[in-house]
Chain A
Amino acid sequence: MTHILSWTIWLPIAAAFLLALFPRSAANTIKILGLFVSLATFVISLAMVQQFQEGIAAFQLVESMSWIPQWGIRYALGVDGISLWLVLLTTLLTPVVFLSSWNAIHKHPKEYVISFLIMEAAMIGVFVATDLVLFYVFFELTLLPMYLVIGVWGGAYRIYAAIKFFLFTVTGSLLMLLGIIYLGFLQFHQTGVWSFAITDFYGLGLPPHTQSILFGAFALAFAIKVPLFPLHTWLPDAHVEAPTGGSIILAGVMLKMGTYGFLRFVLPFFPDATAKYGPLIIALAVIGVIYGALVSWVQPDMKKLVAYSSVSHLGFCVLGIFAINQTAIEGSILQMVNHGLSTGALFLLVGVVYERRHTRMLADYGGIARTMPLYATFFVIAVLSSVGLPGLNGFVGEFLILAGSFKTQPVWTVVATTGVILAAIYLLWLVQRVFFGPIVNDENRHIPDIAWNEVAAMVPLVVLMVWIGVHPNTFLRKMAPSVEQLIATVERGRESGKAMLAKTPARRSPLAARLAEARQ
């Protein structure tokens, strides 16, 4: 099968257009078709993993077509060790969403399925685009479906949450757009040819001042997306108001678009600025780890608790990325997948009881392990994965991040480690308060246990949690060469930056030179 990456993007989009033609009344057919298409996409992405060759650092399964030749923009796709598992995570979580919301969506099911299919395509596009403008197009395309998902199918304050989510993200990404244009212009100025291919920006040797400005434009967009403290305020609102499916995708995949952006663009494009401002980002990430954990601790609302735990967990990922060391970055990528699995599972499970009881308050539950034994089992597994119990996936990711970061950022790493302890406290406390103890509330005596569709959604997640926990090498092996190459690119960039600085201390930026030229 050729053009395998294009298939994963265009199959859901084509299906979405097809489904748009179906009558509203055919809700069941639409749901089945949506699930079928998302499963087919998952199978295609498995074929992608199978065709992916180990030991190669560069982009694989590459596709490249001219798109806007006047500006050198190409429809260029490729997957490497950094993006491979994120694509798989996306294609896995989409059918999980459809399964979990099988009976939960009563309002406009057709539009719901269409939104998620388009979102899936756009998210895959974000991870596999190897052209900066194409990446931006997909990055923005994820916004509208998520806006609609939160705004149409969300909770009581959904409108506020949806608009806040959209405006926060768009603020960052529009400034990044200007950064992209400026970067393209600088690239053109150096080489005389317009191109937005990602690899063409590696080793561009930008002057430190320019790097700082562009670093700001890119880092802001990704910091909002991750989200880094103090830009995280949209996240709890969006998560709490979004329907279960929206939360799963938002936490599971969309936040990773931010960490992925740091890894793919910010680090290799602006190595000097990364060295300069990296400590700042790390500080914010670690503050996020602690702050997120502390706020989670005091949440009376289960969903809000899980939402803030995302802020905490993503802080680890960012710490690992900016530690710039093989172990930490590998751990960080793995942790992105882990967080997608465990937090996705937690949101799904919170949605399950919300469906049945229409409350998410911890105080309303207690002792439901007796009424819902199967549900309790799944929940405890997901919590333990999130806490980082050895043998499950979370442990591997966090351990690698902390072990790697300790080499370059010992102080911050020690501080961040307390986040692991705090996570154990608030998550286990959550389990205790919801599942154990006496049944105080009589309504909790007759909650039906987890249903077939929810089990079907949970099983693959649990399997992967155990798999990554027991044998992480399946996953780490494939990402290692790409991470090595990334670190080499960053270090090469730094050295050439130093050399350039030593040679011509007062080098003007190309734009300033051009302006001076124009004035003459």
Chain B
Amino acid sequence: MTLHPLIEPGWVNAILPELVLCVGGLLLMLLGAFGARLRGITAPLALIVFIVTAWSEKLVLAGTFFGGTYEISGITRIFDITFLLSAILATLFAREYLEREGIEGGEFYALLMWATVGMMMMAKGLDLLIVILGLELLSICIFVLVGYHRRIPVSNEASLKYFLMGAFATGFILYGTALFYGATRSTNFTEMARAFSTADPNNVLLSIAFVLLMSGLGFKLAAAPFHGWAPDVYQGAPSPIAGWLSVAPKAATLIALVRLLSAMLPMLQFSLWMKMIAALSVLSMVIGNAAAIAQRDLKRMLAYSGIAHVGYMLIALLSLRDDSVAAIAVYTITYALMNIGAFGVVSTLAKNQNDPQTLDDIAGLGFRSPFSGLALTVCMFSLSGLPPTAGFIAKFYIFKTAVDSGHLAIAIVGILTSIVSVYYYLRVVYYLYMKEPAEGYAIVPAGGIFATGALAITMIGIFVIGLFPTPLFAMAGAAARALLP
């Protein structure tokens, strides 16, 4: 094994977005510590940092850096944009939420930035260790963010739950990685691929390693049967964070998984590994959608629906072709818009955050507050995959890749569970427009200009992708082709 010179020319350029976010986070922390009176402007400053980061993506040149462990390419750019989009939406919703709850502080946005750095590392790492480093950076930020509402018991409970279970998951991932290292003598994806191409498909050690790794990543994805934490954590976390948590970390884990699985491609065709992923997908779709029906708490319902959506995304992973990677990219962007939007509406419901936000809270909201009602309706229809929303396009893409690659049976499961999902998404619309609120109990959303702006972004995004998906397809398709030669 040769040691590469780590500092290559152009390295600053390679990690420019990450640097901007790191420095921005530090500045916001300082601002929070020394400028208590400047609290009002922390959120706008955070937004500026995120937007500057998005702009800096343009300056970054494609290539591999740091001794072949860090890749900048079209696909990482798309996922970076997804992470930044999620963070921007979360910031917009958090601004008024935190102010209302009296817990505003610079560190909230700083943690969001560093978590984004972690996800960027996961998307760009060509080495399992880089991915794990990113994952840990992300996880630590999430532990704090979930428990950010520190005076509220459910928030603390959620944080502790995620911490304990997350620690286990990380252990599994590290153990799996160690076994893979033992078998392939490397943690670098390229070298692992070389070792896998000649490996014995019946090697028990490799299978154990794979199962361990998939359990850990399955936890991060909240894929069934590793989903137990999700409803509790989403329910307890501050709503803007719950929305962000249900989208961005999943996207980062998925892209890392794509890289890992494409390194294992020769093994996947012969072993049961693909069947395991198929099982994860089917279980997630069935359990997620079935359990969501029983939920009256909006955040728990969205948590279970999120489990189901991971199932849909995993369908695309079954056939590792450029088309399926593009489908995942399209799905994650779409999912970011519609799910954070839905959580965003929940975050504007001004009520004691220790109590559950139930369907009854949105009874009659559609006429009381037409804009929030419309936004939630659009998000629900997009989540259920009905045209002309982005959700339809994304689901169409997923099912198309499944049919293309001969996974017709799993596509049928996907369609049948989608029918189930229509029921509980539709129930939200029913509460919005057809249910009269209980006497003297009519919550009016407390969203100000920031939340309204965020909802406008999500709605416009959902319709633009739903009606004119071509540019996104072109971008995602080109990026995916470059990823999988």
Residues of B within 8 A of A178 (CB): 399, 403, 411-412, 415
- Are B399 and A177 within 8 A (Cβ)? yes
In the assembled complex, the CB of B23 is this many whole angstroms from the nearest CB of chain A, namely 39
B418 touches A174 (CB 8 A): yes
In the complex, what residues of B have CB within 8 A of residue A136's CB? 387
Which residues of A lie under 8 Å from residue B403 when comparing CB positions?
178, 181-182, 185
Give which listed residue, A108, A167, A175, A515, contacts B415 with CB less than 8 A: A175
Which of B405, B412, B429: most chain A Cβ within 10 A? B429
Q: Does B168 contact A (CB under 8 A)?
A: no
Residues in chain B near residue A151, CB distance under 8 A: 430, 433-434
The answer to whether A171 and B419 touch across the interface, beta carbons within 8 angstroms, is: yes
With A144-B386, A185-B403 known to touch, is A108 a contact of B412 (CB < 8 Å)?
A: no
The segment from B44-52, B188-196, B469-477 that touches chain A is: B469-477
Pair B470/A70 contact, Cβ less than 8 Å: yes
> What separation, in Å, do the CA atoms of A514 and B403 have in the docked complex?
11
Could you give, for residues 181-224 of chain A, a 1 whenever the CB lies within 8 Å of some chain B CB and a 0 otherwise? 11011000000000000000000000000000000000000000
- A178 and B418 alpha carbons, distance in the complex (Å): 12
Q: Please determine whether B434 and A140 come into contact, CB atoms closer than 8 angstroms.
A: no
* A-B contact list, 10 entries, CB within 8 Å: A67-B470, A70-B470, A70-B473, A71-B400, A108-B367, A148-B429, A163-B427, A170-B386, A174-B422, A184-B400
A300-332 CB contacts (< 8 Å) to partner B: none
Q: Is B205 an interface residue (CB 8 A)?
A: no
Alpha-carbon separation in the docked complex, A137 to B463 (Å): 13
Q: Is residue A152 within 8 Å, beta carbon to beta carbon, of the partner chain?
A: yes
Q: A159 touching B430 by the CB < 8 A rule?
A: yes
Contact of B426 among A108, A152, A166, A185 (CB under 8 A): A166
Contact A68 B399 (CB under 8 A): no
Q: Does A31 contact B (CB under 8 A)?
A: no
Pick from A162, A174, A181, A515: contact of B434, CB below 8 A.
A162
Chain B 373-397 interface 0/1 with A at a Cβ cutoff of 8 Å (1 = within): 0000000010000111000100010
A152 to B405, CA, bound (A): 43
Alpha-carbon gap, A54 to B367, bound state (A): 49
Q: Which residues of B contact A158 (CB under 8 A)?
A: 434
How far, in angstroms, from A70 to B473 measured CA to CA in the complex? 7
Which residues of chain A from 56 to 101 have any CB-CB distance to chain B below 8 Å in the complex? 67-71
1/0 per position for A3-20, CB-CB distance to B under 8 A? 000000000000000000
Check B33 for interface membership: any CB of A closer than 8 A: no
A229 to B381, CA, bound (A): 29
**Most chain B Cβ neighbours within 10 Å, of A108, A174, A184:** A174
In the complex, chain A residues whose CB is within 8 Å of the CB of B427: 163
Q: Chain B: interface residue count, which band?
A: 20 to 34
Is B404 an interface position by the 8 A CB rule? yes
User: Would you call B408 and A147 a contact (CB within 8 A)?
Assistant: no
Known: A136-B387, A184-B400. 14 other contacts (CB 8 A): A68-B473, A70-B474, A71-B400, A133-B396, A140-B387, A147-B426, A148-B429, A163-B430, A170-B419, A178-B403, A181-B403, A185-B400, A511-B408, A515-B406
Q: Chain A contact residues: over half helix, strand or loop, or mixed?
A: helix
**Complex Cα–Cα for A373 and B429 (A):** 43
Q: Does chain B have a CB within 8 A of A143?
A: yes
Q: Number of residues in A with C-beta < 8 Å to the partner?
A: 37
Residue of A nearest to B411 (CB): A178
Q: Are A68 and B406 interface neighbours, CB within 8 A?
A: no
Q: How distant is the Cα of A284 from the Cα of B406 in the complex, in angstroms?
A: 34
B423 close to A (CB within 8 Å)? yes
Interface centre among A147, A158, A159, A178 (most CB of B within 10 A): A178
Q: How far is the CB of A17 from chain B (nearest CB, A)?
A: 11
B-contacting residues, A148-164, CB 8 Å: 148, 151-152, 158-159, 162-163
Assess whether A518 is interfacial by the CB under 8 Å rule: yes
Contact between B415 and A148, CB atoms less than 8 A apart: no
List residues of chain B with CB within 8 A of the CB of A140: 386-387, 392
Query: Which B425-444 residues have C-beta < 8 A from chain A?
Result: 426-427, 429-430, 433-434
The interface residues of chain B lying within 8 Å CB-to-CB of A166 are 422, 426
A177-B415 in contact (CB<8A) = yes
Q: Which of B381, B406, B423 contacts A167 (CB 8 A)?
A: B423
Q: Residues of A contacting B430 with CB < 8 Å? A: 151, 159, 162-163
What are the 10 tightest A-B residue pairs by CB atom distance, in nearest-first order?
A137-B387, A151-B434, A515-B406, A70-B473, A178-B415, A185-B403, A171-B419, A170-B422, A140-B387, A181-B403
Whether a CB of chain B sits under 8 angstroms from the CB of A389 is: no
**Known: A68-B473, A170-B422, A182-B403. Contact between A177 and B433, CB under 8 A?**
no
- Inter-subunit contact A167/B434 (CB<8 Å): no
Contacts of B426 in A (CB 8 A): 147, 163, 166-167
Residues of B within 8 A of A108 (CB): 367
Q: Give A465-520 interface residues, CB cut-off 8 Å to B.
A: 511, 514-515, 518
Q: Which of B405, B415, B423 contacts A174, CB < 8 Å? A: B415
Chain A residues closer than 8 Å to B469, beta-carbon distance: 68
Report A-chain residues with C-beta under 8 Å of the C-beta of B429: 147-148
The reply on A424 being an interface residue by CB < 8 A is: no
Q: What is the CB-to-nearest-CB distance from B328 to chain A, in angstroms, rounded to a whole number?
A: 16
Cβ of A141 within 8 Å of any chain B Cβ, yes or no, is: yes
Q: Least Cβ distance of B61 to chain A in Å? A: 27
How many angstroms from the CA of A303 to the CA of B99 in the assembled complex?
A: 54
A167→B422 contact, CB < 8 A:
yes
In the complex, what residues of B have CB within 8 A of residue A175's CB? Answer: 415
**How far, in whole Å, are A442 and B357 apart by their CA atoms in the complex?**
52
Taken together as a complex, chains A and B put the C-alpha atoms of A68 and B400 apart, in Å, by 14
Do residues A144 and B388 form an inter-chain contact, with CB atoms below 8 A?
no
What's the least CB distance linking B172 to chain A, in Å? Answer: 31
Q: Which residues of B contact A147 (CB under 8 A)?
A: 426, 429
Contact A181 B406 (CB under 8 A): no
Nearest B residue to A518 via CB reads B406
Chain A 291-307 interface 0/1 with B at a Cβ cutoff of 8 Å (1 = within):
00000000000000000
* Cα distance, A58 to B444, chains bound together (Å): 55
Q: A163-B426, A170-B422 known; A152 and B433 CB under 8 Å?
A: yes
Q: Is the CB of B406 within 8 A of A511?
A: yes
Q: Which residues 463-485 of B sit at the A interface, judged by CB distance below 8 A?
A: 469-470, 473-474, 477
Docked CA distance A108–B427 (Å): 20
Docked complex Cα distance between A141 and B381 (Å): 10
Quick one: CB contact mask for A131-142 with B, threshold 8 Å, 1 for yes? 001001100110
What are the residues of chain B within 8 A of A511 when measuring CB–CB? 406, 408
